[in-house]
Amino acid sequence: MSENSSNSPSNVYIPPKVWSWNKQSGGKFASINRPVAGATHDRALPVGKHPLQLYSLGTPNGVKVTVLLEELLELGISDADYDAWLININDGDQFGSGFVAANPNSKIPALMDHSNNPPTRVFESGAILLYLAEKFDAFIPKAPAKRAECYSWLFWNIGSAPFLGGGFGHFYAYAPEKFEYPIDRYAMEVKRQLDVLNQHLADNRYLCGDEYSIADMANMAWYGALVMGKLYDAAEFLDVASYTHVLRWMHELQQRPAVKRGQRVNRVWGVEQNQLAERHDASDFERDPTEIMQQVIARKQAQE
Ligand SMILES: N[C@@H](CCC(=O)N[C@@H](CS)C(=O)NCC(=O)O)C(=O)O
């Protein structure tokens, strides 16, 4: 529609010739969003006692990794023991120089593997899942056709979840106003994605058939949480109850002890017993979450 069209509504947005950064744009994450990359401040990353050092937050992208690490430990793979440090994205921790060195994209999760010299950095949740599954040869099918299926559902998640989080979640839950056009567009896409999973899970116990894998972990953190009503308060709006096969799959996964533990790590909101701001030892799951949170706050204050 042209600028002079007689049909133009008076409040229509006409993009300027060159976009410029308007910090006042509003929305829940307006204060941390920037159009440039790189560190905003010097802050070294802490390093704990285990070879694997995870820097994360208990959002779906973070939970994918902590569930895998807890599953590896549940299998008895002690080399998968890890420290999970809290990166609070609302406080801008992802723009500290140490974190940016681990992930130039400034997003959780980021992993440093100190069992290699120099330590190996891995960023992007899908890359971390693949790296750990291959390193420990677990939760990834061995047969080539099944492994390909696992890659497919894993990368399906990496490509699809941003429409759920950055698209639907942003406009339904976080934008400063409810805009019909983007909510409609992304609700349609998210329902289509749920139907993709639902139809597949009608005939498959797990995403790769009968083998539980990193593809389940990646998708459970997003679409499983969504159908359980844990994301964006959107269960009724999206009629999640109609995706019965996704629900069946998620209910089964929720029974796993490693899933229960992994979902708590680096979580700093919601019901207190479900939180564990940082995990440095298996015994941390038995500790008082408030005490752990207080220790994290004290450490962060000392760093400032
Ligand atoms: N594609 C990335 C997405 C990671 C991501 O979006 N992380 C969010 C939290 S779930 C984040 O760190 N946001 C901070 C920011 O945008 O500044 C992955 O899968 O690891």
* Pick from 125, 137, 256, 144: nearest CA to 208: 144
The CATH class for the domain spanning 144-262 reads mainly alpha
pLDDT of residue 3: 45
Q: Whose CA is nearest to atom 11 of ligand 1?
A: 107
The response to whether residue 108 sits with its C-beta less than 6 Å from ligand 1 reads: yes
pLDDT of residue 10: 65
Measured distance CA(210)–CA(32) in Å, rounded: 42
Between the CA of 24 and the centroid of ligand 1 the distance, in Å, is 22
Q: What is the pLDDT of residues 186-198, one digit of tens each?
A: 999 999 999 999 9
Contacts of 277-285 with CB under 8 Å at 24 or more apart are 277/86, 278/83, 278/84, 278/85, 278/86, 279/66, 279/82, 279/83, 279/84, 280/48, 280/49, 280/50, 280/83, 280/84, 282/73, 282/81, 285/261
The token duo for 288 is 């008082």
pLDDT of residue 33: 86
Measured distance CA(134)–CA(116) in Å, rounded: 15
Domain ranges across the chain: 52-139+271-303, 144-262
Q: What is the pTM of this model?
A: 0.95
Measured distance CA(202)–CA(149) in Å, rounded: 16
Q: Whose CA is nearest to atom 19 of ligand 1?
A: 125
Q: Say if CB 225 and CB 67 are below 8 A apart.
A: no
- Crossing angle between the packed helical segments 60-74 and 125-136, to the nearest 10 degrees: 10
Measured distance CA(131)–CA(59) in Å, rounded: 20
Between the CA of 5 and the centroid of ligand 1 the distance, in Å, is 40
Supply the CATH classification number for the domain 52-139+271-303.
Answer: 3.40.30.10
pLDDT of residue 4: 42
Q: Whose CA is nearest to atom 6 of ligand 1?
A: 107
Find where tokens 């994209």 sit. 105
The response to whether residue 30 sits with its C-beta less than 6 Å from ligand 1 reads: no
Q: Whose CA is nearest to atom 13 of ligand 1?
A: 107
Q: Which residues of the chain have pLDDT under 70?
A: 1-10, 24-26
CB neighbours (10 Å) of residue 221? 27
* Pick from 239, 231, 301: nearest CA to 270: 231
The token duo for 157 is 């998640």
